[in-house]
């Protein structure tokens, strides 16, 4: 399906698969550190550090790719800026909603609700835009979403009335809103990468979209914070020792996601990216010392089955 592939243990694997797995690791690691900043910063302040402290890393990554590949940077059309702005604003909104969900409940559940992004991407892509996705991958995405939601409701009796009540809780609504915002982000950034010349290397296109998007995010949210939350902006700058690793991990994770979006459809990337919930589960148990139930372990196994189907669907 994808001409960019790599041999792993004798199996030809599309590059977007290992890149997405790496992005998921970086994102969970970043979000775990970022959720701790929420104790001293507002959701907006904790969100902002991932953009402003990622910028220097973005520049270094793009500069390194440009130097190593020896290519000129492609022309930046107006459409690129518009798609990057849309994707950037969607990511800002999604991050703030996700951090708010963390504050209302816990790290694993906040991530779980936001992971409905993959199902929302399938709906938007197939139903709204009429795009075609591998049937096995669609099944895998939906199976993984079931596992994610099962993890969200682990330890609760899933009668329909209880399910509806739980889904209307503020944490659930914030998570669902975050998933929609991230779905819009993925589609917009995929469109941005397609605007650039296909003759440019994938790495250059992905990093260029990343740098443009992150710059717009830093400027727009920074302007909002100067206007509405100057104290939070000062706190964000004062917390640079704890915030700088968040920015570095954000840059590395976004590099992986953006590269995946450049190589294949965002629904596949974000569908496989649901393995993030498995990493979040491990972080929540070991790093944040959250208790684990057998029902949660079972839900994680369901997620693993789903993401395996997604990967298999594109390995030929």
Contact 193, 209 (CB under 8 A): yes
Query: Among the residues of 239-293, which ranges form H helices?
Result: 240-263, 266-272, 276-282
Distance from C-alpha of 303 to C-alpha of 308, rounded to nearest angstrom: 9
Contact 11, 315 (CB under 8 A): yes
What spatial distance separates the first Cα and last Cα of the chain, rounded to whole Å? 8
* pTM, full prediction: 0.88
The position carrying tokens 């000129």 is 72
Contact 195, 75 (CB under 8 A): no
Q: What is the signed CA dihedral for 255, 258, 263, 264, rounded to 10 degrees?
A: 140
β pairing state of 11-14 and 5-8: antiparallel
Contact 65, 207 (CB under 8 A): yes
Contact 106, 90 (CB under 8 A): no
Q: Hey, where are the domains in the chain? A: 5-313
The DSSP secondary structure of 29-43, one letter per residue, reads: HHHHHHHHHTTTS-H
Query: Among the residues of the chain, which ranges form H helices?
Result: 16-37, 43-52, 55-69, 78-104, 107-114, 117-122, 135-152, 160-167, 170-195, 202-228, 230-238, 240-263, 266-272, 276-282, 294-313
Pick the closest to residue 96 from 31, 33, 166, 52 (CA basis).
Answer: 31
Pick the closest to residue 204 from 126, 262, 129 (CA basis).
Answer: 262
Task: List per-residue pLDDT tens for the chain, 316 residues long.
Answer: 445 888 787 788 999 999 999 999 998 888 778 777 877 888 788 889 999 999 999 999 999 999 998 777 888 899 999 999 999 999 989 988 887 877 775 555 666 677 788 899 999 988 888 888 999 999 999 999 888 878 766 665 656 666 666 667 777 788 889 999 999 999 999 999 999 988 889 999 999 999 999 999 999 999 999 999 999 999 999 999 999 999 999 999 999 999 999 999 999 999 999 898 888 777 776 666 666 777 788 888 999 999 999 999 987 6
Instruction: State whether residue 4 is helix, strand or coil.
Output: coil
């Amino acid at each position: 399906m994808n001409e960019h592939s790599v041999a792993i243990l004798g199996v030809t694997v599309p590059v977007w698969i290992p890149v997405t797995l790496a992005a998921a690791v970086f994102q969970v690691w970043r979000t775990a550190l970022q959720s701790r900043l929420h104790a001293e910063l507002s959701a907006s302040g904790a969100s902002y550090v991932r953009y402003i402290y990622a910028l220097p890393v973005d520049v270094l990554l793009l500069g390194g790719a440009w130097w190593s590949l020896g290519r000129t940077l492609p022309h930046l059309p107006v459409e690129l800026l518009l798609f990057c702005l849309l994707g950037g604003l969607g990511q800002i909104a999604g991050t703030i909603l996700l951090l708010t969900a963390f504050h209302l409940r816990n790290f694993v559940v906040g991530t779980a609700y936001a992971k409905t992004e993959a199902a929302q991407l399938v709906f938007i892509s197939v139903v709204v835009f009429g795009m075609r996705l591998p049937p096995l991958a669609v099944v895998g995405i939906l199976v993984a979403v079931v596992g994610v939601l099962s993890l969200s409701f682990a330890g609760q009796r899933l009668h329909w009335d209880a399910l509806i009540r739980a889904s209307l809780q503020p944490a659930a609504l914030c998570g669902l809103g975050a998933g929609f915002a991230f779905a819009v982000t993925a589609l917009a950034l995929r469109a941005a990468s397609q605007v650039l010349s296909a003759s440019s290397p994938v790495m250059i296109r992905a990093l260029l979209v990343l740098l443009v998007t992150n710059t717009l995010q830093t400027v727009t949210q920074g302007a909002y914070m100067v206007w509405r939350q100057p104290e939070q902006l000062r706190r964000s700058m004062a917390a640079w020792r704890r915030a700088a690793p968040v920015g570095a991990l954000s840059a590395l994770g976004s590099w992986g996601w953006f590269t995946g979006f450049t190589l294949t459809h965002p629904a596949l990337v974000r569908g496989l990216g649901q393995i993030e919930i498995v990493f979040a589960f491990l972080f929540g148990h070991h790093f944040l010392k959250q208790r684990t139930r057998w029902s949660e372990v079972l839900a994680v196994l369901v997620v693993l089955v789903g993401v395996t189907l997604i990967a298999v669907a594109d390995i030929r």
